[in-house]
């Protein structure tokens, strides 16, 4: 559980294959511009990359994939682009849900979805219910998600529990806070990938990426393929995750 490790233990994802991969899928607009096409062509092409990365995760044995599809700041884009993204989300969900279900994938949409059109909210609820019992890859789509929103809603939730007498403020520790976040029931991301060349977090998993390995690639999201994913995994396997310990301590643990 996120943040629940005791201080001496290392999280489960500290092995060679990341248990949880989170991706900021960036670069759709630039991909389209390079081809003289409108931005929506890039978003459409990006859906193919989503399909590829899901397959790659299943092949490599990654258990959880979290994709940043729409940030709480993306409402600032032109109305036509926002509408197009909502429409694309609905169409892609409608088209893919059968296949996701057949492949034993559990879908979860995380974020302030109440701001979405009613039809999309219904579709999300149906897709989540349909795949709820699947125990293969957990696919989490962060939609209208912001790391600051998540931390704020967790604080509000805990404050409500304190106000109603259910929770003693003295019992609020990191594990308790982590559980109140929208990703509170899954381990933190081991590998955090951003495509498109920018080296920033853009308000994604602020609480949860405290010890994630960050991987930035210039590859634009519509060009992201299994090879790019495998490169990220190779780089991840070369990293030494110390979680505050000294390198020598890890060597000793590895050699017994």
List interacting residues with ligand IPE (CB under 6 A): 24-30, 68-71, 74, 85, 196, 198, 200, 202
* Three-class secondary structure of residue 160 per DSSP: helix
Query: Considering the complex, what minimum distance in angstroms separates the CB of residue 193 from Mg ion?
Result: 14
Query: Considering the complex, what minimum distance in angstroms separates the CB of residue 82 from ligand IPE?
Result: 9
Strand runs (DSSP E) across 46-183, as ranges?
64-71, 106-110, 138-145
* Closest residue to bound ligand IPE by CB: 29
Q: Which tokens sit at 79? A: 């109305």
Query: Considering the complex, what minimum distance in angstroms separates the CB of residue 44 from Mg ion?
Result: 16
CA torsion through residues 148, 152, 158, 162, sign: positive
- Output b/e per residue, 110-122; b: 16+ Cβ within 10 A: bbebeebeeebee
Q: Which residue has the tokens 């884009």?
A: 77
Contacts of 238 (CB under 8 A, 6+ apart): none
* Segment contacting Mg ion by CB under 5 A, of 6-14, 23-31, 35-43, 64-72: 23-31
Q: With respect to ligand IPE, which residue has the nearer C-beta, 71 or 228?
A: 71
Q: Of 9, 12, 26, 150, which is the active-site residue?
A: 26
Name the binder of 200 from ligand IPE, Mg ion, none, CB < 5-8 A by kind: ligand IPE
Q: Of 74, 103, 134, 203, which is the active-site residue?
A: 74
Report helix, strand and coil shares of the chain as percent, to nearest 5: 50, 15, 35
Binding mask 90-129 for Mg ion (x = CB under 5 A): ----------------------------------------
* Segment contacting Mg ion by CB under 5 A, of 20-28, 73-81, 135-143, 242-250: 20-28
Q: With respect to Mg ion, which residue has the nearer C-beta, 140 or 195?
A: 195
Contacts of 15 (CB under 8 A, 6+ apart): none
Interacting residue with Mg ion among 11, 25, 26, 146 (CB under 5 A): 26
Q: Is residue 74 annotated as a catalytic residue, yes or no?
A: yes
Is the separation of the CB atoms in 212 and 204 below 8 Å? Answer: no
* Three-class secondary structure of residue 130 per DSSP: helix
Q: Is residue 171 annotated as a catalytic residue, yes or no?
A: no
Instruction: Give 109's strand partners.
Output: 141
Query: Considering the complex, what minimum distance in angstroms separates the CB of residue 123 from ligand IPE?
Result: 18
The DSSP code for 67 is E
Q: With respect to ligand IPE, which residue has the nearer C-beta, 85 or 219?
A: 85
Query: Considering the complex, what minimum distance in angstroms separates the CB of residue 18 from ligand IPE?
Result: 19
* Three-class secondary structure of residue 3 per DSSP: coil
* Segment contacting Mg ion by CB under 5 A, of 18-26, 32-40, 85-93, 125-133: 18-26
List residues near Mg ion by CB under 5 A: 26
Which residues are catalytically annotated? 26, 74
């Amino acid at each position: 559980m996120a943040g629940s490790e005791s201080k001496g233990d290392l999280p489960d994802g500290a092995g060679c294959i990341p248990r949880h991969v989170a991706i900021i899928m960036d670069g759709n607009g630039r991909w389209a511009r390079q081809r003289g096409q409108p931005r929506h062509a890039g978003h459409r092409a990006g859906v193919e990359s989503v399909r590829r990365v899901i397959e790659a995760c299943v092949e490599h044995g990654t258990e959880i994939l979290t994709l940043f599809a729409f940030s709480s700041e993306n409402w600032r884009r032109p109305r036509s682009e926002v509408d197009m993204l909502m429409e694309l989300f609905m169409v892609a969900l409608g088209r893919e849900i059968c296949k996701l279900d057949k492949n034993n994938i559990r879908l979860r949409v995380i974020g302030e979805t109440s701001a979405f059109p009613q039809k999309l909210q219904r579709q999300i609820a149906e897709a989540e219910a349909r795949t709820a019992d699947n125990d293969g890859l957990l696919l989490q789509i962060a939609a209208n998600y912001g790391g600051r929103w998540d931390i704020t809603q967790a604080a509000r939730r805990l404050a409500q529990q304190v106000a109603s007498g259910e929770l003693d403020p003295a019992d609020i520790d990191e594990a308790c806070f982590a559980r109140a976040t929208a990703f509170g029931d899954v381990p933190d991301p081991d590998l955090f990938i951003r495509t498109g060349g920018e080296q920033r977090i853009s308000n994604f998993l602020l609480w949860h990426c405290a010890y994630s390995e960050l991987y930035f690639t210039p590859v634009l999201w519509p060009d992201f393929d299994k090879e790019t994913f495998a490169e990220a995994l190779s780089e991840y396997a070369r990293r030494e995750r110390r979680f505050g310990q000294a390198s020598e301590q890890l060597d000793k643990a590895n050699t017994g």
